[in-house]
Amino acid sequence: MAEQPILLLSHLSFSSAALLESEVALRKIRRTRWKLNKFSLIPAFIALIGVVILLYPMAASWVSQVNQSALVRDYSRALDNAQPSKDQQIQLAHKYNEALRSGAIIESGANKAVGTGSNAGADSTASLKYEDMLHTPQSAVMARVKVDAIDVDLPVYHGTSDETLRVGVGHLKGTSLPVGGIGTRAVLTAHRGLAEATLFTNLDKVKKNDEIVIEVFGEVLDYRVVDIQIIDPDATQNIKADPNRDLISLITCTPLGINTQRILVTAERVTPTPADVAQEQGKKPDIPGFPWWIVYLSVALSVITWYVWSSGTRQISIKPD
């Protein structure tokens, strides 16, 4: 019986010694340190550049749509203080269209169309200057064009200068103002294929019977696509007004990046304007949608960060005895 306590004490002594030795060993360990693997930075940097290049058009287009939507909202608010009033501006625009001799030419080899139409009757049109039509001091926007089929909701400006076409849709001077009426044909043009803005990039996806809506100084005009053509730059007959129809045409360059021809989408007015379309007047733009590019960028950055971290080495520093 006396041997059992002796064995137990021996076992306890051995365990205590082992624990003490472990504690001493643990005290010697100072810390575990992560060290960057410099070679992992090269593929990580290349991957980051690739992600930025891929996402830039999406991000830039989203930012552009934010700015364009803000301009549309500002335009709607500016109409309340328009001078002359909205109704007077519409009446003047109709007079301008009546006085206008339709005639336009699409500039060859360029990304825009240029009008050469002129006003008929100098005395009757002396007060009908193009730049003063559908104009408010608070906003440079003359109208708003919506094509839901391709997520277009853009401001329309006077003329087709390069500066105008980089921020929105230009109205082709020399064609009817976009206020509707039998015998009129407004022609609206915009860039296609810009990295920083979508604009009319997807105009080639429009189909017959798709809806084009024009909001202009408090009025809503509803059009349905009736014709889609690929035309040469000098095909002036294709954009002339029809004396018996109320038309609008959207035009942009094609093939994408080459721009030797033009896509011409023509729509005819639906009268009266459907009630559900008329109720959309002045409504806040639905675009841009959710910024998915932020999600994609966050995921890509997380993966790149994980790669750099997992490629690093771990070093254990131990205190000397």
H helices then E strands: how many in the chain?
A: 6, 14
Alpha-carbon gap, residue 285 to 78, rounded angstroms? 16
State CA 287 to chain mean position distance: 8
Answer yes or no: 191 catalytic: yes
Cα Rg of the chain, angstroms: 34
User: Coil, strand or helix: which one is 128?
Assistant: coil
Does an H or E element contain 48, and which?
A: helix 41-78
Q: Are 175 and 102 in contact (CB under 8 A)?
A: yes
Please state, in angstroms and rounded to a whole number, the distance separating the CA atoms of residues 24 and 28: 6
Catalytic residue among 135, 158, 171, 191: 191
End-to-end CA separation in angstroms for the chain: 44
Alpha carbons within 13 A on the beta-carbon side of 17 = 6
Q: How far apart are CA 254 and CA 143, in angstroms?
A: 25
| Short-list 136, 236, 242, CA closest to 181 | 242
94 is catalytic: no
What DSSP string runs through 246-261?
EEEEEEEEESTTT-SE
Q: Is the dihedral of CA 210, 160, 118, 136 positive or negative?
A: positive
Catalytic residues: 191, 253
